[in-house]
Structure 1
Amino acid sequence: MEEGQALMELTRETTMRTRSRRNYRWDRYKYYYLLLLPAMVYFLVFQYAPMFGIVIAFKEYRIVDGIFGSPWAGLKWFERLFSAQDFWIALRNTLIISCYKLLFVFPVPIVLALFLNEIWNVRFKRWIQTIIYFPHFVSWVILAGILHALFSSSTGILSAIGISVSPMMQPEMFRGMLVATEIWKEAGWGTVIYLAAIAGINPELYEAAKIDGASRWQEMFRITLPSIGGTILILLILKMGHILNAGFDQIFVLYHALVYQVADILDTYVYRVGLSMGRFPLAAAAGLFKSAVSLVLILLTNTIVRRMGGSGLW
């Protein structure tokens, strides 16, 4: 009897302590929770609520019947998707373009951040940052107009040097144009995260390296780069999760019929099939396939990073 009362008393005390801790956390962080609320509402409304539309991929969807009123079709649309030649061409182009961007675009912000960190003149450093950040705020629509004007074989700079065929019209050069324009537009903005990580490095490490006689290059490769290695790995994991996002905005405003075979990606395929042709279930099936592959890739990359000794995302 006494043991039962002692156990009940202990449980009551534990409950009171838990409530007290919760009340303390709420009183201390309630304004932070309020600041977080708009972001949570945004994700619930625009990210999670639309997931109910995934069921379209498994139905004979008709607009008049609605999503839940349309009859089930099983895996019919996935069978049609995987048997369509255009889908496999779009998947191949997506992987090739994403791999190009991963190899050639991903390292550029790291290199830029390392060199910007070595600039001691603050005014000059800010001037350089402004120049390389600016293209990020130029929309792809405007940039496409500029590129078409510059590389026009009749009125652009190519006509002035005697080139009669624009590289934007040649399938073998179009992917290179995508990579080059992506670097020009986004590489500077990508340095923001790396510069923030560099700013958190302990200055005493550099002071100790100078005392030991280390050069600027040695400080860069022995201190700066290893210190931001965790940030690089996290961004690499996130990049792998978006490997099937080859850049819809960029490609949609730049590609045309002459380069469809090398530039049509999954996003443009979904847009063309879903919105232009009105085949919503097939487009939903393609989108679901893309999301499933992205999830597998991000889980796989995170596991590899963890086994290699990195921290990973979780």
Structure 2
Amino acid sequence: METALPKTTSPKTIAGKPAGFFRKLVRQRALIFMSFPFLIWLFIFKYLPLWGWTIAFQDFKPAKGFTDQEWIGFDQFAFLFQDERFLQVLRNTLAMSFINLVLGFATAITLAILLNEVRHMFFKRFVQTVSYLPHFISWVVAASIVQTTLAPDGIVNQLLGKDILFLGVGEYFWGLFGAASVWKDVGWNTIVYLAAMTMIDPAQYEAAEIDGANRFQRIWYVTLPGIKPVIIVLLIMQIGYLLEAGFEPQYLLGNGMNVDYSEVIDIFVLKYGIAQGNFSLSIAAGMFKTVVSFILLFGANHIAKRMGESRLF
């Protein structure tokens, strides 16, 4: 009786991955060709302009050629961190980003859970529609609504029976910004969480109900763990945007009375960089914001990986 010799594995099979990778590319060639326009757009508008970061290390003069510019090294960065105005702007940016992060997550998750528990479909759809609508209003219109509401003769002061100039008190601005951001985006932010809740197996709710869990316990032990991976991934992404507090709401709601609390990095770049022709300073501030965001994103992702949680990559 002949014994079968073990099959020898060819180098192509041993490697495995390259051959499988190229076969997959061939099978999905239609998708690859469809992605080419986006990759070209990404390279032209996102990566190619990065050469402009060199302006941050020059005393840039628009009338001179690139090779004729005077190189000043890190002088612009040193000026930024010695400038009290920039440090104040950095404080405002971090404070408003943190407020937006905490309020945005808490309100969106809470509203998504409440909507998920509603069994009356007409009421559920009505609340969803009403909460989504402000997202589609531009900040120009939204800021006008906020200013009218908070005016001395606005509805808020009429309800309080007082005459408070809310946007004239700097200490109020962070809270007002957080409330306005929640009003505008809370409905839109619930979409991802509601979609994640539809993926939870209904048998888990039935088993929890059989075990005697009340509605709050089912939310705590079934719903929240079910959407935990989505929460962590979105949290990592938002941490990467901690220095992106926004521009339009602060610019539109800010004024001379609350400027010490409303001015953020983007407004600083506009006022003291672009408007005054100091392009090197504006590039340095933008570069600082991008590098810090990059570090925060990768740091948060690494911490999630070390803790065994869901992550971006």
* Fold match (TM-score > 0.5): yes
Indicate how the Cα distance of structure 1 residues 15 and 211 shifts in structure 2: closer, same or farther if over 3 A, else same.
Answer: closer
Judge conservation of contact 2:233–2:312 (CA < 8 Å) in 1: yes
Task: Output one character per residue of 1:23-54: Cα deviation in whole Å (capped at 9) or x when no partner.
Answer: 53234212222333333233222221221111
Judge conservation of contact 1:61–1:280 (CA < 8 Å) in 2: yes
Residues 158-173 of structure 1: matches in 2 within 5 Å? 160=158, 163-173=162-172
Matched residue, 2:309: 310
Matched residue, 2:5: none
Q: Percent identity?
A: 36
Instruction: Give the partner amino acid of 1:97.
Output: M
Judge conservation of contact 2:146–2:180 (CA < 8 Å) in 1: no
Residues 123-272 of structure 1: matches in 2 within 5 Å? 123-154=122-153, 156-157=154-155, 160=158, 163-272=162-271
Q: Normalising by the residue count of structure 2, what TM-score does the alignment of the two structures yield?
A: 0.89
Matched residue, 1:46: 45
Judge conservation of contact 1:98–1:245 (CA < 8 Å) in 2: yes
Q: Normalising by the residue count of structure 1, what TM-score does the alignment of the two structures yield?
A: 0.89
Matched residue, 1:291: 290
Indicate how the Cα distance of structure 1 residues 237 and 62 shifts in structure 2: closer, same or farther if over 3 A, else same.
Answer: same
Partner Cα distance (2:22, 2:94) in 1: 50
Partner Cα distance (2:238, 2:300) in 1: 10
Matched residue, 2:62: 63
Indicate how the Cα distance of structure 1 residues 191 and 68 shifts in structure 2: closer, same or farther if over 3 A, else same.
Answer: farther
Question: How far 1:93 sits from its partner (Å)?
Answer: 1.1
Judge conservation of contact 1:101–1:179 (CA < 8 Å) in 2: yes
Indicate how the Cα distance of structure 1 residues 304 and 26 shifts in structure 2: closer, same or farther if over 3 A, else same.
Answer: closer
Decide which moves more: 20-29 or 224-233. 20-29
Partner Cα distance (2:312, 2:130) in 1: 32
Question: How far 1:204 sits from its partner (Å)?
Answer: 1.9
Indicate how the Cα distance of structure 1 residues 53 and 209 shifts in structure 2: closer, same or farther if over 3 A, else same.
Answer: same
Indicate how the Cα distance of structure 1 residues 298 and 277 shifts in structure 2: closer, same or farther if over 3 A, else same.
Answer: same
Question: How far 1:18 sits from its partner (Å)?
Answer: 7.0
Judge conservation of contact 1:273–1:280 (CA < 8 Å) in 2: no
* Length, aligned pairs only: 304
Partner Cα distance (1:310, 1:19) in 2: 30
SS of 1:294 mapped into structure 2? helix
Task: Output one character per residue of 1:65-90: Cα deviation in whole Å (capped at 9) or x when no partner.
Answer: 24454232211111211221111110
Matched residue, 1:6: none
Instruction: Give the partner amino acid of 1:253.
Output: L
Provide structure 2 residue ranges, at least 5 long, that are not aligned to the other structure. Answer: 1-8
In the alignment, does 2:285 pair up with 1:273?
no
Judge conservation of contact 1:240–1:297 (CA < 8 Å) in 2: yes
Question: How far 1:300 sits from its partner (Å)?
Answer: 2.1
Indicate how the Cα distance of structure 1 residues 148 and 66 shifts in structure 2: closer, same or farther if over 3 A, else same.
Answer: farther
Partner Cα distance (1:51, 1:269) in 2: 21
Task: Output one character per residue of 1:229-274: Cα deviation in whole Å (capped at 9) or x when no partner.
Answer: 1111111111111111112121111101111111111111111122
Indicate how the Cα distance of structure 1 residues 292 and 158 shifts in structure 2: closer, same or farther if over 3 A, else same.
Answer: same
Question: How far 1:214 sits from its partner (Å)?
Answer: 2.1
Partner Cα distance (2:14, 2:197) in 1: 44
Partner Cα distance (1:303, 1:263) in 2: 32
Judge conservation of contact 1:98–1:243 (CA < 8 Å) in 2: yes
Matched residue, 1:4: none
Instruction: Give the partner amino acid of 2:73.
Output: G
Question: How far 1:152 sits from its partner (Å)?
Answer: 2.1
Question: How far 1:146 sits from its partner (Å)?
Answer: 1.7
Judge conservation of contact 2:55–2:279 (CA < 8 Å) in 1: yes
Compute the RMSD of aligned alpha carbons: 2.3
Residues 72-151 of structure 1: matches in 2 within 5 Å? 72-151=71-150
SS of 1:105 mapped into structure 2? helix
Decide which moves more: 33-42 or 53-62. 33-42
Instruction: Give the partner amino acid of 2:83.
Output: A
Judge conservation of contact 1:53–1:67 (CA < 8 Å) in 2: no
Partner Cα distance (1:35, 1:120) in 2: 41
Indicate how the Cα distance of structure 1 residues 86 and 17 shifts in structure 2: closer, same or farther if over 3 A, else same.
Answer: closer
SS of 1:86 mapped into structure 2? helix
